[in-house]
Chains A and B, each alone.
Chain A
């Protein structure tokens, strides 16, 4: 159980990182995140199954396509309503609805849609059998967190991200264009979502409905951790991750999604800015 809790927590963290990145930098709550996650899965599936491309090529292509889509979404839609939080949420959620229901309409339903794992097999850790894929998720998540840290501290674009996140007008008066940075943050956030999809989805089948679950999970982890704080996301995903596994073991796996929702309620009642958050206006934002 310890091991499964760990893996579940890491999966949650990986799911939430992209959402968190976009929100932390540009303040855009990307409610299309769950849809993007599922779309990335289906793109990869189509490339592998229909076009016969190699797994890694398909994965890379999906990440790039989704990233470009994110930037495009920002330039086309979000740029015009930037700063109007409710409009941003409505617009991105509308995009999510369109994408997910369109997928359902086209006929992506059923159990035949699943992505291949990277490496097959399983090992025994502390008496529990764990797929290599799950260990891979663990390793890749650590890699993503480290990469994100290096990116935001040592590259020009990353430093500009931090500037925009802290004070838009000061950044603008130093020559950093907020719209450009925000569209990058949207693109990179979506790419992270696609990356998460490609490594996590092989554990099960791809279903349209899980798009909503992904959004709820990402949202609850980000709210509990404090929106925009990477460290908060990691802590929160461990709390919620273990809580979900405990619920699944002792009550019923049916109730796991309730855990996320309850977590949102509890944290909003007790500490509205999240565990490590510094967003004062969180009540307005969510």
Chain B
């Protein structure tokens, strides 16, 4: 479904992603595991196309020079130079890290803003579906998103991505800053989303322990380079992963 081919990303002369090739097949949950500064967010922004926008903005003000090499293809179509909003239309939707929500709008309005690409008659049904997946959001629907807790904001952020009807959902560190119990709940919701919505999911995370059991395949990223690749179980049992991410 998604193919990343020999991707390299530079910020000025610093290499953020080095000859990375990964593949995501339809219906899978694929994990990208890596510590801070491994290049996870850069990878997510490259796949979603946000990096093209950042690159243009930096170029305009004469800021940081961003260089991208390699090719991206989605459903057999070359998307290397396709703009972010067009990629959303194709079905690649990113939920950015640190649960970005529109803080001045209430929960329901956040979902309605997110329904920009949805035909008018489907909006109500889809919002109801989001509340089904995240029942905790329903009682909060009139509350301003800025007053939600981190976990609730994260649920809302994922719910907003769902409103764009993704075929491939990119989740950038969804567990960041959440309590362990909330992490477990969120992971369950992610499994539900795949099952009920038929969405393929690419999730990147540094908390490997809760994520590894639900992924079909995983890649381990270190300093922008691919170091390990295997099924979720293989990675879970791998002594290096255990040492680096479980603290065993």
Binding site for B on A (CB under 8 A): 80-84, 153, 156, 159-160, 162-163, 166-167, 169-177
Contact = CB atoms under 8 A, between A and B. Distances in A.
Interface string B102-133: 11110001001111110010000000000000
Given A166-B104, A169-B96, A169-B100, A175 B60 contact: no
A82 B85 contact: no
Given A84-B60, A159-B109, A175 B85 contact: yes
- In the A-B complex, the 9 residue pairs with the closest CB atoms: A175-B88, A163-B113, A170-B100, A177-B85, A166-B102, A175-B117, A173-B94, A159-B113, A172-B84
A174 B113 contact: yes
Contacts of B154: none
Nearest to B90: A175
Interface residues of B, number: 33
B53 interface: yes
Contacts of B120: 156
Contacts of B50: 169, 172-173
5 contacts: A162-B113, A163-B113, A172-B53, A175-B164, A176-B116
Contacts of B161: 173-174
B177 to A, nearest CB: 17
B60 A80 contact: yes
Interface in B171-230: none
A159 B133 CA distance: 24
Contacts of A81: 60
Contacts of A160: 113, 116
Residue from the set B57, B89, B105, B116 with the largest chain A CB neighbour count within 10 Å: B116
A6 to B, nearest CB: 30
Contacts of A84: 60-61
A162 B84 contact: no
B163 A174 contact: yes
Interface in B67-117: 83-85, 88-89, 93-96, 100-105, 109, 112-117
Given A163-B102, A172-B50, A173-B84, 5 more contacts: A159-B116, A166-B102, A173-B48, A173-B95, A177-B83
B17 interface: no
A174 B112 contact: no
Given A82-B60, A160-B113, A176-B116, A167 B100 contact: yes
B164 A174 contact: yes
A173 B52 CA distance: 12
B61 A83 contact: yes
A167 B48 CA distance: 16
B181 to A, nearest CB: 27
Contacts of A175: 85, 88-89, 93, 116-117, 164
B93 A174 contact: yes
B57 A83 contact: yes
Interface string B38-75: 00000000001010010001001100000000000000
A166 B109 CA distance: 13
Contacts of A162: 102, 104-105, 109, 113
Contacts of A153: 109
A171 B116 CA distance: 9
Contacts of A163: 102, 113-114, 116
Nearest to B48: A173
Contacts of A171: 113
Nearest to A180: B85
